[in-house]
Amino acid sequence: MAAKQHKALVIVESPAKARKIGEYLGKDYIVLASMGHVRDLPSGAAEVPAELKKEQWATLGVNIDQQFEPVYVVPKDKKKTVKELKDALKTCSELILATDEDREGESIGWHLMKLLEPKVPVSRMVFSEITKDAIQKAIRNTRELDQNLVEAQETRRVVDRLYGYRLSPLLWKKVAPRLSAGRVQSVAVRVLVRRELERLAFRKGSYWDLKAALATASSARFDAALATVGGQRVAQGRDFDESTGRLKTDADVLLLDEAQSKALQTKLEESRDWVVSNVETRLQTRKPYPPFTTSTLQQEANRKLGLSARETMQIAQRLYENGFITYMRTDSVSLSQEAISASRACVTNRYGQEFLHPEVRQYTTKSKSAQEAHEAIRPAGVEMKTAEELSLNGREGALYAMIWKRTVATQMAEAQLRFQTVTIGTLDVEFRATGRHVEFAGFFRAYVEGSDDPEGALEDSEAALPPMEKGQQLTCKEVQALAHETKPPARYTEATLVKTLEEEGIGRPSTYASIIGTIQDRGYVRKQGNQLVPTFTAMAVTKLLEKNFSRLVDLQFTARMEQDLDDIANGQAERLPYLKSFYSGETGLDEQVKQNEAGIDPREACTLDIDGVNAKVRLGKFGAFFEGEREGQLVTATIPDDIAPADLTNELAEKLITQKSQGPQSLGIDPESGLPIFLLIGPFGPYLQLGEMKDGEKPRRVSIPKTRDVSTVKLEDALEYMKLPKTLGPHPETGKVVKAGIGMYGPYVHHDKTYKSLDKTDDILQMTMERALELLAQARVRVPVAPLKELGAHPVDGDPVQIFEGKYGPYIKHGKTNATIPKDRELDSVTIEEAVRLLDERVAKGGGSTGRRGGKKVTKKAAAKKAAASAELVTPKKAAPKKKAAKKATKKSVT
DNA sequence: CAGTGAGCGAGCTTCCGCTTGACTT
């Protein structure tokens, strides 16, 4: 008796948006969220509809013989959403598609229509800011779905699928299983690899110069740097060629070495005649930076707050969901009227009229690929409350404060700076000093990019010089000779990589963070502090792609694709000719892959020629290794995991190969057993072994802690390490023994049931009872949690079955198996029989019973299993060193 | 918890872009 109410169903993409829009539209509308895309190409064999499985193109999900017709499926995690939307539509008399106003949003709208098969009128509503006015206006001005835009999206989707799913399998065959290639990731990796090669080619250059501390009669001292000698400019870093480490041939400069600079220093120290020969002043105005987009927010949060792109997005998501900021995935720098007037009011109140920019400042997006479906990231609403006023603290507060400052600053006055360059002459030598003075702080008052503390930054920038005029006499307090070395081009960080990708139009706001995740998960990149370091695998894959698919890994590929997609969106081109030219024919992707499948030698693809290193670098199943020759024999030697490609030197290669060819080196003989002690390197790092391997019998082994420099381990210490675990003595309180040893997770002390890892600064060989007690006192005491209820013994093994309170509500525990209790279930009425049934169901479902910190391989498998979302999937036996779970499991690899 | 760069092998891996909860000591 569902008397059809005359309500309209409005579908947007995000639930937070749905809530807000629901408020503005009132009770005649039901506003729901699609949660992004609702249909997609099948992601793998498991999702391909049964009737298509036997098709050649099944796993592509695109019928390449029939006009590249895509196969669309509703992914498992979207089934629920789709059902909810269908149910809601049954009660409505109108459907309004209010997905984002961009290519992807238009497509989501179209897919929704295909899926929901509405029998009621459908319209398309768009808006770019979420205010009551804007929404009400938008709903009065609906339009039709734009089929051209939908087609452009589908073309994008198909190109990405064909690119990724044709090239990746080629990499599996030629380089290593589970690798991947893609329009975005392969270019990202290539960017990192090219920089690494520049670093590899880099040769250090060194030069000297002088620094003089000078002062006027009345001023404090200031520094000036040597500029010219005898009229010739003195060499600086930029005069050096990075690949030779020598002066560029066209550089007409004077290169000073140590002796020359020190001689000059002595000479100048005696000079009493220092005169200002020139004073130049230049005024500069600085405009505030545009408000944040996803990309600039990620860059700035990485620089200022040390957050990864992913962390930034997680925090921003929370701020957005709680209504503190506008939508965080955007490529637009435009601010709504609401935001502009709120910011201007805020500037006047907080800093005064003089700090307000006289006119409204609006920014326009430069990026060509921008789609601008949202406004810039800014504090939501009209009040412009500060983080303190909103009681935000921690990382949320810090990120919000950054957004607040950047937004408010956009409406502030320009900053006025005065730069001064003073040239000082003495003998035949010139020195130069530059000063900067902030004439008017303007927006600096609120915000200085790259600096966390505007006030402090203002003072720093006050490196002004004392007033000086031409001909003025100065006194010299000190002259120093300084050595300099040129530095290789810096590795990319998350911030600089995101910046580069955005500039090239590669990737979208919603994907910057996940790109960085993907290239790490696939083992192309490793993070070292803030640096992104490409691996040898990345080098090999990039080499293969550059050589055989140069068009596809060109930085311009995406930009060109975007132009074609624009043409399709404008109705000036069609998808089919574009897809054909990309995939089919002589020069198409299909043919290229086929040729290379036959043509590429896997052994060659896995071999790298490194400039300056005689040995070959090759990729094996267990990582990269050197292959060299000793006495006519091929010798292979593992390259340690923490060695980056640019760190390779011929010396390192020779050393490792020699070591390997000589076999295990004995550090000496253990006097007790008479056996030699070997220093060896295994998959988990260096370790010591007493005696040779005998069949069946494993010799005694002990790891060397990561904190210890292996080259300093001599027989004496080796003997000490071999004594581990050793007893330190009885615990003064319990009388039970306290031990020190090295285990899976590194060096530890142990007492009773408590284990505690040593600090980085502790040396296990120097461990004393006193320090051990200190460490044990720090150990987290495991208080056994009392069960909520005992259900009795399990019928199979007699172990107890108990109910515990967990983070997500009560659960049943038996051994290592946990099972959820259905939400609506009364705890008191759960019987042992029911509990056993729930536990069995849990086991049958798979997963869940393995401890997270258990065996490392188990953890990985469990995670891989989850990802595959397939119940009976058997994970292959081959150990994959870098996989999905790698992020969470990295800690395990520490000895 | 350990020395390799691979021998047999069914069926699997993989893309980009849009969006949240998911589930469990």
Q: Show Cβ contacts of residue A318 under 8 Å, excluding neighbours closer than 6 positions.
A: A396
Question: Is the CATH code 3.40.50.300 the one for domain A155-202+490-607?
Answer: no
Nucleotide nearest to A173 (CA to C1'): B13
**Dist. CA A868–CA A193, nearest whole Å:** 30
Q: What is the model's pLDDT at position A201?
A: 93
Q: Judge whether residue A53 contacts strand B, using its CB and a 7 Å cut-off.
A: no
Å: A242 CA to B17 C1': 39
Nucleotide nearest to A512 (CA to C1'): B17
Q: Judge whether residue A491 contacts strand B, using its CB and a 7 Å cut-off.
A: no
Q: What is the model's pLDDT at position A6?
A: 82
Q: What is the model's pLDDT at position A456?
A: 54
Nucleotide nearest to A842 (CA to C1'): B24
pLDDT band at A853 (very low <50, low <70, confident <90, very high): very low
Å: A595 CA to B11 C1': 25
Judge if pTM exceeds 0.85. Answer: no
The hierarchical CATH code for the domain A294-413 is 1.10.290.10
CA A511 to chain centre: 11
Buried b (16+ CB within 10 A) or exposed e, A304-338: bbebbbbbbbebbbbbbeeebbbbbbbbbbbbbeb
Å: A671 CA to B15 C1': 61
- The tokens describing A694, both together, are 């005998």
Please tell me which of A277-286, A463-472, A670-679 the model is most confident about, judged by mean pLDDT. Answer: A277-286
Q: Enumerate the H helices of A734-790 as residue ranges.
A: 769-778
Q: Judge whether residue A664 contacts strand B, using its CB and a 7 Å cut-off.
A: yes
Q: What is the model's pLDDT at position A755?
A: 81
Half-sphere CA count of A406, side-chain side, radius 13 A: 28
The pLDDT of residue A450 is above 70: no
The pLDDT of residue A869 is above 50: no
Domain span(s) for CATH 1.10.460.10 in chain A: 155-202+490-607
Domain span(s) for CATH 2.70.20.10 in chain A: 206-281+421-435+463-485
The pLDDT of residue A514 is above 90: yes
Q: Enumerate the H helices of A215-293 as residue ranges.
A: 258-270
Domain span(s) for CATH 1.10.290.10 in chain A: 294-413
Proportion of chain A in helix, strand, coil states, percent, rounded to 5: 40, 25, 40
Q: What is the model's pLDDT at position A233?
A: 96
Note whether A875 and A861 are within 8 A (CB).
yes
Å: A816 CA to B2 C1': 29
Strand B contact residues in chain A (849-868), C-beta within 7 Å = 852, 855, 867-868
Q: What is the model's pLDDT at position A841?
A: 67
Q: What is the model's pLDDT at position A454?
A: 57
Q: Judge whether residue A809 contacts strand B, using its CB and a 7 Å cut-off.
A: yes
- The tokens describing A673, both together, are 């057993």
The pLDDT of residue A455 is above 70: no
Note whether A415 and A441 are within 8 A (CB).
yes
List bases, strand B, within 7 Å of protein CB. 1-6, 10-21, 23-25
Q: What is the model's pLDDT at position A302?
A: 96
- Taking residues A47-59, report their average pLDDT: 94
In this structure, CATH architecture of domain A206-281+421-435+463-485: Distorted Sandwich (2.70)
Residue nearest to nucleotide B15 (CA to C1'): A164
Strand B contact residues in chain A (504-543), C-beta within 7 Å = 507-511, 514-515, 518, 522
The pLDDT of residue A676 is above 90: no
Strand B contact residues in chain A (390-429), C-beta within 7 Å = none
Catalytic residue among A29, A165, A327, A748: A327
CA A871 to chain centre: 31
User: Catalytic site residue A721?
Assistant: no
Percent of chain A at pLDDT exceeding 70 = 88
Q: Judge whether residue A881 contacts strand B, using its CB and a 7 Å cut-off.
A: no
Q: Counting Cβ atoms within 10 Å, is residue A697 exposed (0-12), middle (13-18) or buried (19+)? A: exposed
Å: A841 CA to B23 C1': 15
- The tokens describing A136, both together, are 């009400």
Nucleotide nearest to A172 (CA to C1'): B13
CA A825 to chain centre: 42
Å: A533 CA to B24 C1': 35
**pLDDT tens-digit profile of A737-793?**
888 888 777 788 888 877 888 887 888 888 888 888 888 887 765 555 667 777 778
